[in-house]
Chain A
């Protein structure tokens, strides 16, 4: 029975420790592969694009002269579209995720919804564009506007955020919920005050990944009518007359940075390719900024979890 001598045991423990150390190296290497790729991409973009990042690049409209062309309409468009996307997708996804985890009965109908959501994650973005064209642009008459674009992208990233929400809610031990119920809390109070705060970290991960994807999308937006040449900005959200805020910008035609990039990179003139690289850099910085906000919140939420 005691066929494990202490020598054997020692050796086993040594081997395991070695494997552990080796894995640490492998893990670091794996992480570096990801970071190296990112570095290569950024270096590639910077070599070509850095020279173009002058202030006038950000304040000029597109032009047939590469040196004069800028991304003003594009970055404003991206910002506004992402605003609509975030404000639509996040509440919708959290609502759906919470429902599926906390409220939904475990029947075939719920299973159907779950499979459906996972399936939507695999629909190519261009198909979302084609659907949105028929639905938002024509049927609902939102036109080829920032509103249509934001809604299309929101639907595109919905599955990611819902899945992340569900997984993080699922991971919360039932003891938390039961403690709240024991104190007389209602289901919604439990969810709002106990489940959601603890799952916010995971939810934010989903939001980050989802919004990052949305900001870089080209094909569906071209389909619903995003423009490539637009030399004016949407009406500003703040007006000087009553009622001081305006929603006109939602209905405005627009362009976005990935489309501008896509157009420039396929032009024959090499100088346009430099513009494209510069746009790529700006896009990545914008995404980093957007992610940074969510990451900050995720860090704060994560710090508070103690179980």
Chain B
């Protein structure tokens, strides 16, 4: 009798979570996290607890690894899926639908006491940030001779981040091509502090961090060839703030879509409510038709990525969405 009890206990102990079927598992970038968190929160409220959503922050790379192993249903990504990851997914038989969900406008910031910079062109920025500048371009007047001979203090995200990749691609022309002698930090709040405390500082990070700290920072209008444009929800949404508007994505597993009806509902909810939720977490929403096209892709099950496994900069979102996708 005692043995039977023990066996019973053992069996109970060994039966892993039956609740798994009702959980939507999401992981990936910590940049996309605030948006997905907002959607997950509202979705769960609307479902009154019948569906559970979990979100992790293992990073875009870690997220894709889990996604391609079939462990997550949705992957948060601050950059498009790369060739290496696409191969991994193909090997495990995981097919995905790529959906841009918001813009993260990269904002170039200087200290409010910086009274000489009114706007910056892409060549200006390139002169500051390209690899050849390392150790050489150390004062402001080396970028533009009319600027003062003050030391140039640079702040930026760490070289492992999607923000870094996108900025270097957009400004220098090749991803990861940058000088190494700048103050790097994973935590954008630290960059905010750094620029806010130093008159001669310049940094770049996501729009949300600028908006939350407007009193301490000055955003620099960027001249992408059509005149200086200040970053704002309007200029990003209508595509005039270039080239530093980067789209952020979610990738949805086709298998999860087909086998877990809750996932389909969740993603549809995501696309429908993104415009206002994205604004609430201080990111910039895509133009409305981008979400409609996305929902259409979802319905039709359009699998694959339009980026062919490499990074790309400065493409309008509507053009992106109309492209042919490949796995």
Question: A222 within 8 Å of B by Cβ?
Answer: yes
Q: Determine how close the nearest CB of chain B comes to the CB of A219; give it in whole angstroms.
A: 11
Determine the distance from Cα of A232 to Cα of B38 in the docked complex, in whole angstroms: 15
Q: Which stretch of A30-38, A174-182, A202-210, A241-249 is in the interface?
A: A241-249
Question: A63 within 8 Å of B by Cβ?
Answer: yes
Decide: B5 and A253 in contact? CB cutoff 8 A.
no
Interface residues of A in 116-174 (CB under 8 A from B): 143-145
* Residue from A144, A228, A232, A243 in contact with B5 in the complex, judged by beta carbons closer than 8 Å: A243
* Residue from B15, B37, B186, B192 in contact with A62 in the complex, judged by beta carbons closer than 8 Å: B37
Question: A263 within 8 Å of B by Cβ?
Answer: yes
* Residue from A231, A235, A243, A268 in contact with B282 in the complex, judged by beta carbons closer than 8 Å: A268
Q: Determine how close the nearest CB of chain A comes to the CB of B16; give it in whole angstroms.
A: 4
Interface residues of A in 226-277 (CB under 8 A from B): 226-232, 235, 243, 245-248, 250-253, 259, 263, 265-270, 273
Determine the distance from Cα of A77 to Cα of B177 in the docked complex, in whole angstroms: 42
Question: B58 within 8 Å of A by Cβ?
Answer: yes
* Residue from A229, A243, A245, A248 in contact with B55 in the complex, judged by beta carbons closer than 8 Å: A229
Contacts A268-B211, A270-B212 known; A229 to B282 CB distance under 8 Å? no
Contacts of B228 in A (CB 8 A): none
Number of interface residues of A (CB under 8 A): 35
Question: A64 within 8 Å of B by Cβ?
Answer: yes
Contacts A228-B56, A231-B52 known; A263 to B33 CB distance under 8 Å? yes
Q: Which stretch of B6-14, B148-156, B219-227, B287-295 is in the interface?
A: B6-14
Determine the distance from Cα of A266 to Cα of B187 in the docked complex, in whole angstroms: 6
Q: Determine how close the nearest CB of chain B comes to the CB of A83; give it in whole angstroms.
A: 15
A-B interface contact total, Cβ < 8 Å: 102
List the A residue with the shortest CB-CB distance to B185: A266
Interface residues of B in 50-109 (CB under 8 A from A): 52-58, 62, 66, 71
Contacts of B44 in A (CB 8 A): 231
Determine the distance from Cα of A229 to Cα of B52 in the docked complex, in whole angstroms: 11
Decide: A268 and B189 in contact? CB cutoff 8 A.
yes
Question: B27 within 8 Å of A by Cβ?
Answer: yes
Contacts of A201 in B (CB 8 A): none
Interface residues of B in 184-218 (CB under 8 A from A): 186-189, 192, 206, 208-209, 211-213
Q: Determine how close the nearest CB of chain B comes to the CB of A67; give it in whole angstroms.
A: 13
Decide: A268 and B37 in contact? CB cutoff 8 A.
no
Question: B258 within 8 Å of A by Cβ?
Answer: no
Q: Determine how close the nearest CB of chain B comes to the CB of A34; give it in whole angstroms.
A: 27
Question: A223 within 8 Å of B by Cβ?
Answer: yes
Question: B17 within 8 Å of A by Cβ?
Answer: yes
Contacts of B56 in A (CB 8 A): 222, 225-229
Decide: A229 and B33 in contact? CB cutoff 8 A.
yes
Question: B280 within 8 Å of A by Cβ?
Answer: yes
Decide: B8 and A243 in contact? CB cutoff 8 A.
yes
Question: B175 within 8 Å of A by Cβ?
Answer: no
Question: B49 within 8 Å of A by Cβ?
Answer: yes
Contacts of B33 in A (CB 8 A): 228-229, 263
Decide: A64 and B17 in contact? CB cutoff 8 A.
no
Question: B281 within 8 Å of A by Cβ?
Answer: yes
Question: B171 within 8 Å of A by Cβ?
Answer: no
Q: Determine how close the nearest CB of chain A comes to the CB of B59; give it in whole angstroms.
A: 9
Question: B40 within 8 Å of A by Cβ?
Answer: yes
Decide: B41 and A63 in contact? CB cutoff 8 A.
yes
Determine the distance from Cα of A185 to Cα of B41 in the docked complex, in whole angstroms: 63
List the A residue with the shortest CB-CB distance to B16: A251
Question: B309 within 8 Å of A by Cβ?
Answer: no
Contacts of A265 in B (CB 8 A): 187, 189
Determine the distance from Cα of A240 to Cα of B106 in the docked complex, in whole angstroms: 54
Contacts of B208 in A (CB 8 A): 268
Determine the distance from Cα of A253 to Cα of B14 in the docked complex, in whole angstroms: 16
Contacts of A252 in B (CB 8 A): 17, 19
Question: B229 within 8 Å of A by Cβ?
Answer: no
Q: Determine how close the nearest CB of chain A comes to the CB of B105; give it in whole angstroms.
A: 13
Contacts of A263 in B (CB 8 A): 30, 33, 57
Q: Determine how close the nearest CB of chain A comes to the CB of B191; give it in whole angstroms.
A: 11
List the A residue with the shortest CB-CB distance to B207: A268
Contacts A243-B8, A263-B33 known; A64 to B38 CB distance under 8 Å? yes
Contacts of B9 in A (CB 8 A): 243, 245
Question: B131 within 8 Å of A by Cβ?
Answer: no
Determine the distance from Cα of A228 to Cα of B41 in the docked complex, in whole angstroms: 12
List the A residue with the shortest CB-CB distance to B33: A228
Determine the distance from Cα of A250 to Cα of B58 in the docked complex, in whole angstroms: 21
Question: B112 within 8 Å of A by Cβ?
Answer: no
Decide: A248 and B27 in contact? CB cutoff 8 A.
no
Q: Determine how close the nearest CB of chain B comes to the CB of A261; give it in whole angstroms.
A: 13
Question: B314 within 8 Å of A by Cβ?
Answer: no
Question: B239 within 8 Å of A by Cβ?
Answer: no
Determine the distance from Cα of A252 to Cα of B209 in the docked complex, in whole angstroms: 34
Q: Determine how close the nearest CB of chain B comes to the CB of A249; give it in whole angstroms.
A: 9
Of A63, A231, A268, A273, the most chain B CB neighbours within 10 A belong to A268
Q: Determine how close the nearest CB of chain A comes to the CB of B205; give it in whole angstroms.
A: 9
Q: Shortest 10 CB-CB distances between A and B: which pairs?
A: A229-B55, A247-B13, A268-B212, A64-B38, A268-B209, A251-B16, A251-B17, A229-B37, A268-B208, A227-B54
18 sample A-B contacts, Cβ–Cβ < 8 Å, listed by A number: A63-B37, A64-B277, A64-B281, A143-B16, A145-B17, A226-B56, A228-B56, A229-B40, A231-B40, A243-B5, A246-B12, A247-B13, A248-B19, A250-B13, A253-B25, A268-B209, A268-B211, A268-B213
With A225-B56, A232-B52 already in contact, 13 other A-B pairs whose C-beta atoms are closer than 8 Å: A62-B41, A63-B41, A223-B58, A227-B55, A229-B55, A230-B52, A230-B55, A231-B52, A232-B49, A243-B9, A265-B187, A267-B34, A270-B212
